[in-house]
Amino acid sequence: MAELTYREAVSRAIAQEMERDETVYFIGEDVAAAGGVFKTTEGLLERFGPRRVRDTPISEQAIVGAVMGGAMNGLRPIAEIMFSDFFAVCWDMIANQIAKTRYMTNGQVALPLVIRTANGGGVRFGAQHSQSVEAWAMAIPGLKVVVPSNPTDMIGLFAAAVRDPDPVIVVEPKALYAMKADVPDGEIVDRLGAATVLREGSDVTICVLGSMVHRAMDAAERLAADGIGAEVIDVRSLVPLDTQAILASTTKTGRFVTVEESPRLCGWGAEVASIVAEEVFYDLDGPVVRITTPHIPLPSTDALEDLAIPSPDVIVERVKASMG
């Protein structure tokens, strides 16, 4: 057992998979010599050499096109898109080519590749570098999407992503890079499509993802002090989605709340809420509640960004209001 930051877990996750499989390689802007703009890939160049850890030009289209070609020819590439906002630059390649190739070739061409990216706000980078884009990827058939919320999940879910036969988007909340946690020694391999119940409760289910997991856990502690038992579910994987865990918890508690860093319109929680309403409507004791960032470009000013992103205070207030 060792204490690792989330950013150190990213490096360990990549190294674990490169160590076990020589077909795995890693490319991106400033990922080699500089160790990544967020220092998430330090030591990889020295350990695996310039043949397998490569800096690229500032061209997201070139990065994504290169890993698509590598995957089509028997390799298992990992690409870094420095900020998830820059998916917009290469979205045609991801959405129209990578996501659809296996389907359009009737399974003859698989694309076992991973695109990892820093996502979300909380670090004052402004509207063009703070977006939460997991719902973009979730909406495209053919892509799998995971959002690890802690160092151990970062390693385990990343391993599952690299070993998967389909393209996987690994979304890393940049606000969590400095967080620390104990991580088991040895190989860590998780599975896609499995949510985790982080806290048991009997009164309300709070469904969360990424950096919002920790805010929801804080809120749940405060709700418990007021006699409200909140069950907190870390979704972890948006595609595939663990609907069974979400529905089972909602049936038990009778109330359902999502907490999303993404903007309200068409956020991932809207899809989850629709599933809950359709499948277990008669088990609900009140309306489904979505707590989200407003549908606005995220401000960089400290006070305004803090106001926009859901806080533990807001979660506590909304949960109490939903329970009357």
Q: Which tokens hold the place of 302?
A: 């400290």
| 50-60: burial string, b at 16+ Cβ within 10 Å, e else | eebbbebeeeb
Let me know the angle formed at the C-alpha of 172 by 112 and 230, rounded to the nearest 5 degrees.
Answer: 115
| 152-162: burial string, b at 16+ Cβ within 10 Å, e else | bbbbbbbbbbb
Distance of CA 80 to the CA centre of its chain: 14
Distance (Å, whole) CA 61 – CA 40: 22
Distance (Å, whole) CA 142 – CA 99: 4
Distance (Å, whole) CA 284 – CA 305: 33
Active-site choice (76, 102, 129, 214): 129
129 is catalytic: yes
Collapsing DSSP to helix, strand or coil, 162 comes out as: helix
Please check whether residue 211 is in contact with residue 149, taking contact to mean a CB–CB distance below 8 angstroms: yes
Would you please indicate which residues are annotated as catalytic (active-site) residues? 129
